[in-house]
Amino acid sequence: MSKITPKIVAEHGLSEEEYQNVLDIMGREPNLTELGIFSVMWSEHCSYKSSKKWLKTLPTSAPWVICGPGENAGVVDIGDGQAAIFKMESHNHPSYIEPYQGAATGVGGILRDVFTMGARPIANMNALRFGSPDHPKTRHLVSGVVAGIGGYGNCIGVPTVGGETNFDPSYNGNILVNAMTVGLADTNNIFYSAATGAGNSVVYIGSKTGRDGIHGATMASTEFNEDSEEKRPTVQVGDPFTEKLLVEACLELMATDVIVAIQDMGAAGLTSSAFEMASKGGVGVEMDLDKVPAREPGMTAYEFLLSESQERMLMVIEPGKEHVAQAIMEKWELDFAVVGQLTDSGRMVIKMNGKIEADLPIDPLALASPEYDRPWVKTESQAEVALSEDIVPENYLYTLKQILSLPNMCSRRWIWEQYDQMVMGNTVQRPGGDAAVIRIQDTLKGLAIATDCTPRYCLADPYEGGKQAVAETWRNITAVGARPLAITDNLNFGNPEKPEIMGQLVGTIQGIREACNVLEYPVVSGNVSLYNETAGQAILPTPAIGAIGIMTDYRKSVSIAFQSEGESILLIGETLGHLGQSIYLREISKIEHGPPPPVDLSVERRNGDCVRSLIDDSLLTACHDLSDGGLLVGLAEMVMASNIGASIHDVSGDMALLRWAYGEDQARYLVTTKKDSEIISRCAAENVQVLELGMTGGIDLSFADESITIAELKEAHESWLPKYMTVIN
């Protein structure tokens, strides 16, 4: 047996201190296979060792939460015996190395997390961040990631209904691919991962195990450097057709009563599934690798255990019932094998060719894995920007056109048209609005889904940025008329061993916590991706938030599109003219410092609750929350979505017109109505600010003595991305 040298330890990503820990736990030197298991199970990706301490502070419960974080996905009650099961997860490192397969398997992985709990996936979303459009790799990465997401989701037949895409140079060496899946289950048929019952069979189903993705989790837990391209063999290869069979087979099997526990094999494959399931259920496992379906002969125990081959699941089944599962897997032409038994030893004993290849205690590698309190420094808050007269634009609508064509502000149509948005036949609101709306089949219920995050706000002030990301999804869900229920958080940051990065993580989590508490909007699942750095350059702090909400009647949902001419346009919420970190200051004036807009959560809640009740009473005909770019951008988006113009009077009063037009104050909604006096009195009764801005109609957007045609706006908004993507490098 090879001796474990410090070099081998370092190659496995374990620190000297961690290795000493290994020796103490084992009471002897581990063999290479055992070391490999420690390496993946203690990786940041699997153990959450840097973030655990802080994640524990997040609110995770509410009367409608059935299952919070810690399982494969979060479970929320949506009434009538139905549950929504959802989660967002990153596949950042693999997608940078091999964009198509990295993104595709990201989608495959998150789908499995959801259907492993008994849910049929009903919608996908994604939050993407790419480097500067000028960077030589960006076009190739955008093209590959979008094709990969589409290739997997389209084939499996789950609609991709929205998401977000940003460009920023900080992502040049570390793109972010965060994929979210929402599924639908019966509350009395939800499946969990805790393995129980010594003597029960451990069953493997799905694809065969090959040599792909070995050490993917460890790779995803380190910074990139010059040779990261050499890590391509650590990227998995996806097979959406097999996953489609797996979904159908699992759901068919879940209609029987044979499954005790089930978990998909994701990061760190067979190893992490077996350890996590056993640790949660407080049992031991004896596994025989000779029984594991192999794609090729000659694989070692190390390779079997660390492979991240896709489309595989591990289950616990009562002895004597295996044949039920076997028959269903045979119908769907999937592999099936009993690979071991549960024991009461609390240990993982792995055999191959009659020889013990690994013998480890379970808990220290799973539930009791290391937890660090890493040093952190609070991000200094930034002083208000002193604005001079020379940043005022000469022509507001010319500037609007410029803003609408910016890489970060232009239409994402080029992306979403590559995704099947309506398969399954329940898509009420497609991409392009504030939130997607999916009808719950055979009911009138509508599920609203949104993702959001404004990384530039988070960089300037992690606490306010964290609050804002949560509040914006809450507002998105509200703007279609749904009641926000819960979120999933996908925290993407740089190297947590640097106190300033750790400070961003801590600050952001504190902001998320505050927003979740005030809005009664708990975190039910999530994922942390750290070490998103290349050559010492960290990404912007990016806590992507995915959210769901419910409405009792999907037919009442409203979109951002004006419905007819001659309706009143109203602004709900107070305009203070906050310009710090606005799109206008950053992109037009090139001023990158200053604080982001503060989020007053009680105002947020009051305004949102008011808007939602107006929609529920069918008083609004269109609604759009204001975010990036502020009032004029929001208005232009509504105009473009409907092909109906708008004219706005100057209502800025004492405020500088610039602040009025481009300020990014929070908790605001642009709405249209035929019943303005009723809206105004309802808002007054609820102490919500409301202002009449103008009317819909015509073929122009008119503002402050200027006007621009809808066609011009659309040309500016729609052309950048397709043009950018057709240039050949």
Provide the annotated active-site residues: 45, 91
Encoding tokens for residue 434? 């504030």
Q: How far is the CB of 99 from another protein (least distance, A)?
A: 15
Residue 251 near another protein by CB under 8 A: no
Encoding tokens for residue 317? 């089944």
> 121 φ, ψ to 5°?
-60, 135
User: Could you tell me which stretch among 85-93, 390-398, 411-419, 506-514 binds another protein (CB under 8 A)?
Assistant: 411-419
CB 182 within 8 A of CB 550: no
User: Could you tell me which stretch among 147-155, 310-318, 536-544, 562-570 binds another protein (CB under 8 A)?
Assistant: 147-155
User: Could you tell me which stretch among 20-28, 151-159, 208-216, 506-514 binds another protein (CB under 8 A)?
Assistant: 151-159
CA nearest to 54, candidates 575, 628, 390, 504:
504
Residue 647 CA, chain-centre distance (Å), reads 37
Encoding tokens for residue 316? 């616990």
Q: What is the DSSP string of 391-439?
A: GS-S-HHHHHHHHHTSTTTS--HHHHTTS--STTS-EEE-TTSSSEEEE
CA nearest to 191, candidates 109, 113, 77, 244:
113
CB 343 within 8 A of CB 284: yes
Residue 562 near another protein by CB under 8 A: no
Place of tokens 């994922």: 527
**Nearest CB to another protein, comparing residues 335 and 664:** 335
Place of tokens 């205690």: 361
Q: How far is the CB of 328 from another protein (least distance, A)?
A: 13
**Nearest CB to another protein, comparing residues 272 and 642:** 642
Task: Determine the straight-line distance between the first and last CA of the chain, rounded to whole angstroms.
Answer: 50
Residue 422 near another protein by CB under 8 A: yes
Amino acid 166 reads N
One residue of 59, 74, 99, 151 binding another protein per CB under 8 A: 151
**Nearest CB to another protein, comparing residues 428 and 603:** 428
**Nearest CB to another protein, comparing residues 432 and 526:** 432
Rounded to whole angstroms, the Cα distance separating 273 from 65 reads: 24
> 35 φ, ψ to 5°?
-65, -40
User: Could you tell me which stretch among 57-65, 178-186, 415-423, 465-473 binds another protein (CB under 8 A)?
Assistant: 415-423
Encoding tokens for residue 729? 């490098």
One residue of 418, 647, 652, 719 binding another protein per CB under 8 A: 418
Rounded to whole angstroms, the Cα distance separating 430 from 160 reads: 9
**Nearest CB to another protein, comparing residues 521 and 554:** 554
Q: How far is the CB of 314 from another protein (least distance, A)?
A: 23
Q: How far is the CB of 244 from another protein (least distance, A)?
A: 6
- Residue 130's DSSP bridge partners are 167
Q: How far is the CB of 486 from another protein (least distance, A)?
A: 25
CB 576 within 8 A of CB 661: no
Residue 95 near another protein by CB under 8 A: no
User: Could you tell me which stretch among 101-109, 155-163, 387-395, 635-643 binds another protein (CB under 8 A)?
Assistant: 155-163
CA nearest to 130, candidates 530, 729, 548, 725:
725
Rounded to whole angstroms, the Cα distance separating 25 from 599 reads: 47
Residue 245 near another protein by CB under 8 A: yes
**Nearest CB to another protein, comparing residues 59 and 150:** 150
Residue 154 near another protein by CB under 8 A: yes
**Nearest CB to another protein, comparing residues 160 and 174:** 160
Residue 715 near another protein by CB under 8 A: no
**Nearest CB to another protein, comparing residues 232 and 331:** 331
**Nearest CB to another protein, comparing residues 121 and 608:** 121
According to CB under 8 A, which residues from 203 to 242 bind another protein?
239-242
Residue 710 near another protein by CB under 8 A: no
Q: How far is the CB of 95 from another protein (least distance, A)?
A: 18
User: Could you tell me which stretch among 349-357, 417-425, 520-528, 711-719 binds another protein (CB under 8 A)?
Assistant: 417-425
Q: How far is the CB of 151 from another protein (least distance, A)?
A: 8
All residues at 6 or more sequence positions from 618 whose CB lies less than 8 Å from its CB, including other chains: 556
One residue of 105, 170, 272, 421 binding another protein per CB under 8 A: 421
One residue of 419, 457, 463, 521 binding another protein per CB under 8 A: 419
Q: How far is the CB of 204 from another protein (least distance, A)?
A: 20
Q: How far is the CB of 687 from another protein (least distance, A)?
A: 33
Residue 711 near another protein by CB under 8 A: no
CB burial readout 228-248, b (16+ within 10 A) else e: beebeebbbebbbebbbbbbb
Residue 330 near another protein by CB under 8 A: no
One residue of 116, 427, 488, 621 binding another protein per CB under 8 A: 427
One residue of 66, 147, 391, 588 binding another protein per CB under 8 A: 147
Q: How far is the CB of 429 from another protein (least distance, A)?
A: 9
How big is the site for another protein, counted in residues (CB under 8 A)?
Answer: 32
One residue of 439, 578, 612, 624 binding another protein per CB under 8 A: 439
CB 200 within 8 A of CB 258: no
Residue 156 near another protein by CB under 8 A: yes
Give 191: exposed, middle or buried? Use CB within 10 Å, 0-12, 13-18, 19+. Answer: buried
Residue 618 near another protein by CB under 8 A: no
Edge-to-edge order in the sheet of strand 622-625: 622-625, 669-673, 568-572, 690-696, 646-648, 700-703, 706-709
Rounded to whole angstroms, the Cα distance separating 497 from 491 reads: 16
According to CB under 8 A, which residues from 479 to 508 bind another protein?
none
Residue 157 near another protein by CB under 8 A: yes
Residue 332 near another protein by CB under 8 A: yes
Residue 555 near another protein by CB under 8 A: yes
Neighbours of 622 (CB within 10 A): 24
Residue 244 near another protein by CB under 8 A: yes
Residue 424 near another protein by CB under 8 A: yes
- Residue 169's DSSP bridge partners are none
> Could you tell me the CA-to-CA distances from 207 to 32, 244, 315, 595 in Å, in that order?
26, 12, 14, 50
Per-residue contact track with another protein, 441 to 460, x per CB under 8 A?
A: x-------------------
**Nearest CB to another protein, comparing residues 500 and 616:** 616
CB 348 within 8 A of CB 261: no
Rounded to whole angstroms, the Cα distance separating 285 from 349 reads: 6
DSSP assigned state of 156: H
Rounded to whole angstroms, the Cα distance separating 247 from 679 reads: 47
CB 94 within 8 A of CB 216: yes
> 363 φ, ψ to 5°?
-55, -45
Q: How far is the CB of 267 from another protein (least distance, A)?
A: 24
> Could you tell me the CA-to-CA distances from 173 to 40, 140, 168 in Å, in that order?
23, 13, 11
One residue of 420, 461, 625, 628 binding another protein per CB under 8 A: 420
> 700 φ, ψ to 5°?
-125, 160
Rounded to whole angstroms, the Cα distance separating 305 from 307 reads: 6
**Nearest CB to another protein, comparing residues 82 and 242:** 242
Residue 654 near another protein by CB under 8 A: no
Encoding tokens for residue 601? 């959560």
**Nearest CB to another protein, comparing residues 352 and 622:** 622
Residue 551 near another protein by CB under 8 A: no
Q: How far is the CB of 294 from another protein (least distance, A)?
A: 21
CB 307 within 8 A of CB 317: no
Which stretches of the chain bind another protein, using CB under 8 A? 147, 150-151, 154-157, 239-242, 244-245, 332-333, 416-428, 439, 441, 554-555
